Amino acid sequence: MHIESRIRTIPHYPRDGIMFRDITTLLQDADGFRLMIGALVERYRHVRIDKVAAIEARGFILGAPLAWALGAGFVPVRKRGKLPSAVIGRDYALEYGSDRLEIHVDAIAPGEQVLLVDDLIATGGTAEAAIALVQELGGQIVELAAAINLPDLGGTRRLEALGISTFWLGEFAGH
């Protein structure tokens, strides 16, 4: 599936020099959205997946229907303070500062096979924090799946250096 043509590029957002890849145009395209979820389902249909863990917020849009179609549980990986029960958290670096991801302590049981999902792979910092949380709970990462890869930002190399397999449906050069 070639999704690049269904994704809008917004130059100089959120700051000069950035080419923001906006997936909302893909999501509002019923055929494109169906094809995207279908392609992900097809990739994982015959793989044991106990949980789909998705990173806030656009990862939820891909992860929830994927979990449903695979018959897996859905686990939200959220920003600080958004989950109502006991959590573990992981800080990660941003270009200017840091942020924190959290997951419920009872979201993943030891040995469960977890597919991690986000909208795109950029620098890999957010994904790395989510991976650490899943692994801290004893989950085994099957793969990280995304709609888009931005290979020039190095995220796939960073994650693969950690032993994490990555998969994406489309990619864009540059930032």
3 within a domain of the structure (yes/no): no
82 within a domain of the structure (yes/no): yes
Catalytic residue positions, numbered: 58, 95
**Residue 42: is its pLDDT beyond 90?**
yes
CATH assignment at residue 154: 3.40.50.2020
More confident residue, 75 or 93: 75
Which residue from 158, 103, 94 is spatially nearest to 135, judged by alpha carbons?
Answer: 103
**Mean pLDDT value of segment 92-108:** 90
**Residue 1: is its pLDDT beyond 80?**
no
Q: What is the pTM of this model?
A: 0.95
Range of the domain at 77: 47-169
Q: Is the dihedral of CA 157, 120, 35, 164 positive or negative?
A: positive
Name the domain count of the chain.
1
Lookup result for tokens 């994490």: 164
Q: What are the respective helix, strand and coil percentages of the chain, to the nearest 5? A: 35, 35, 30
Q: What percent of the chain has pLDDT over 70?
A: 98
25 within a domain of the structure (yes/no): no
| pLDDT in the model for residue 122 | 92
138 within a domain of the structure (yes/no): yes
10 within a domain of the structure (yes/no): no
92 within a domain of the structure (yes/no): yes
**Residue 17: is its pLDDT beyond 90?**
no
31 within a domain of the structure (yes/no): no
**Residue 174: is its pLDDT beyond 80?**
no
Asked if 98 contacts 129 with a C-beta cutoff of 8 angstroms, the reply is: no
